Homo-oligomer: A and B are copies of this chain.
Amino acid sequence: MDDIIQYGMVGGDVKAFIGEVHRKAFAFDPRARLVAGAFSVVPEYHELTADTYHVAKDRRYLDYREMAEKESQRPDGIDLVVICTPNALHYEVAKEFLLHNISVLCEKPLCFRKEEGEELLKITKEKDLLFAVNYGYTGYPMVKVAKEMIKKGELGTLLSVHAEYLQDWLLAAADPKTREESRKKIWRLNPKMSGSSCALGDIGTHAENLLKYLLGERPSQVFCEKENYGQELDLRDEILLRYPSGLKGSISVSQIALGHLNGLSFEIDGSEASLVWHQENPDHLFLTKKGRGTEDLSRSSTALQGYAASQAYRRLPAGHPEGLYEAFANHDRTIVTNLLKRKRKEVLGPEDEDYPHGEDGLEGVEFVEACLASASKQGWVDFIGDEPNKGGVNV
**Measuring CB to CB, which residues of chain A are less than 8 angstroms from any residue of chain B?**
4, 17, 20-21, 23-24, 27-28, 30, 52-54, 156-157, 159-160, 162, 167-169, 171, 174-175, 223, 225, 227, 229-230, 236, 238, 240, 246, 248, 250, 252, 254, 256-263, 267, 269-271, 273-274, 276, 279-283, 286-298, 301-303, 315-326, 378-380
Contact = CB atoms under 8 A, between A and B. Distances in A.
Given A17-B317, A319-B280, A259 B236 contact: no
Contacts of A53: 30
Given A238-B238, A258-B290, A261-B318, 18 more contacts: A4-B54, A17-B317, A27-B28, A159-B174, A168-B274, A171-B271, A225-B240, A227-B248, A257-B267, A258-B288, A261-B301, A261-B317, A263-B319, A279-B321, A293-B298, A295-B296, A321-B324, A323-B326
A303 B293 contact: yes
Nearest to A162: B252
A197 B323 CA distance: 32
Contacts of A229: 159
A148 B385 CA distance: 50
A1 to B, nearest CB: 10
Given A257-B269, A290-B171, A295 B295 contact: yes
B248 A167 contact: no
A270 B174 CA distance: 10
A252 B250 contact: yes
13 contacts: A30-B52, A159-B236, A160-B236, A160-B256, A162-B252, A168-B274, A169-B317, A225-B240, A291-B303, A293-B296, A321-B321, A321-B323, A323-B325
A54 to B, nearest CB: 6
A248 B261 contact: no
Top 7 A-B residue pairs of the complex, sorted by shortest distance between their CB atoms:
A261-B319, A262-B319, A259-B288, A321-B323, A258-B274, A27-B27, A323-B323
Contact of A236 (B27, B248, B254, B260): B248
A114 to B, nearest CB: 25
Contacts of A169: 317
Nearest to A28: B24
Nearest to A55: B30
A248 B237 CA distance: 10
Contacts of A287: 293
A10 B197 CA distance: 53
A271 B174 contact: yes
Contact of A160 (B257, B296, B315): B257
Given A321-B323, A379-B379, A316 B248 contact: no
Contacts of A321: 279-282, 321-324
Kindly name the residue among A157, A167, A320 whose own CB sees the greatest number of chain B CB atoms within 10 A: A320
